[in-house]
Amino acid sequence: MQQHHAIKTNHYLEINEIEALLEGVEYIIMATPAPEHFAKTPVHVSIFLNTQEHFSQEIKEMIFDKFCQDYKISTSAEVMSQIMPVGFANTTHDTPMPMLLVKAADQNSIPYIALHVIDFLAASDAFEEVTKESLTGWSYVRE
């Protein structure tokens, strides 16, 4: 397997920069390699919905099913769907990298906004760069 270096953060976006960045964005989808022991679900997927709305369980399931259909996800595990703190970092990539901030230390030191996040492990043919080349990527989907 090819070895890749961690993505280097050049700058964390401030709240006003995040708000401007997300103007007109429906969602961001990010895919990274899952830890090797998750062979049946080799892709870690994070979907950052540009909303702070709390959805019922039924609506969460409908949204998740739609993403699974759209991204040809055949198997999923460890699904989490809730409002979470999300920071953004400028890197060498064209668009800022979204970052789910789980640790309290990160939440205290990195500017963030709350977004509805769907985070899970998956198997899908739609993320070949992740499964074949161990690359991390994200896409902004606009309204």
The 10s digit of each residue's pLDDT in 53-86 is 999 999 999 999 999 999 999 999 999 999 999 9
pLDDT at 133: 87
pLDDT tens column, 5-20: 567 778 999 999 999 9
Q: What is the pLDDT of residue 9?
A: 78
Whether 140 contacts 9, CB under 8 Å: no
